[in-house]
Amino acid sequence: MIQIIPAIDLIDGKCVRLSQGDYTRKKIYNENPLEVAKLFEEFGIKRLHLVDLDGAKLGKITNLGVLETIASKTSLVVDFGGGVKTQEDFSSVLNAGAQFVAVGSVAVKNPEMFAFWIQKFGSEKILLGTDVNNRKLAVSAWLETTQIDVFDFLNAKIKQGISTIFCTDIAKDGMLGGASTELYAQIIDAFPTINLIASGGISSVSDIELVEKIGCTGVIIGKAFYENKIQLSDIKRFI
């Protein structure tokens, strides 16, 4: 059974969504992320994907207080990412109550630091984020596209012990146009032992069914919930 993982994206401590990672295309959905998290929890959701968009853009954690509040006032298993750059950052996220640290840019731009984190904290504490633009990795809140092929990158990180990965196709994110199922199927075919979490573009229950069918173990859903494209009642059988 695929795991449903709602996303709460944070700017200025508020629950927002962007379109294709564009900070100028921001919509505020709730000024109290704890309210949103509790709604998910009350319905039976177990996981939460918490993204510090300020931190991702500025390169330093900015919304740690929101993580602390949600982790202390709900029983949700939370992963948190955005602006995690140092060993101290990684420790502070875990100490604030996250069970996993979502890491993207550092794994690409500072592989030595990433390798150190695996050694010190364990690969099981890392949720590796791969943000993809035409199969090339994007970093720094998607403001920079590299020439690194996602398959080469994943091959290297899996050899280091990483087993759980979420992949976002930037062209799909926030557009409610369906998931990047072809890319996900290719990744699972190339790396059948990983746990791949689909992210971006999910707009209907049929999208969830599609990514489950190709072998994704989880699916991150954001805008579809906030725009009422998917009702919580629609996903009851996945809970």
Nearest-CA neighbor of 165 among 84, 100, 73, 71? 100
Nearest-CA neighbor of 125 among 158, 100, 107? 100
Question: What is the predicted pLDDT for the residue at 176?
Answer: 67
For the whole model, what pTM was predicted? 0.93
Which member of 9, 52, 89, 173 is catalytic?
Answer: 9
Give the CATH class of 3-238.
Answer: alpha beta
Question: What is the predicted pLDDT for the residue at 226?
Answer: 94
Question: What is the predicted pLDDT for the residue at 117?
Answer: 98
Question: What is the predicted pLDDT for the residue at 143?
Answer: 65
Identify whether the C-beta of residue 188 lies closer than 8 Å to the C-beta of residue 227. no
Count of Cβ atoms closer than 10 Å to residue 152 Cβ: 11
Per-domain residue ranges for the chain? 3-238
Cα–Cα distance for residue pair 74/53, rounded to 1 Å: 22
Residue 131 annotated among the catalytic residues of the structure: yes
Question: What is the predicted pLDDT for the residue at 36?
Answer: 97
Average pLDDT along the chain, 239 residues, taken 10 residues at a time: 96 88 85 97 97 92 98 98 96 98 94 97 97 84 80 97 92 70 95 96 94 97 93 93
Residue 173 annotated among the catalytic residues of the structure: no
Tokens for 92?
């502070």
Question: What is the predicted pLDDT for the residue at 31?
Answer: 95
Question: What is the predicted pLDDT for the residue at 13?
Answer: 96
Which member of 131, 169, 173, 207 is catalytic?
Answer: 131
Cβ within 8 Å of residue 158, ≥6 positions away: 191, 193, 194
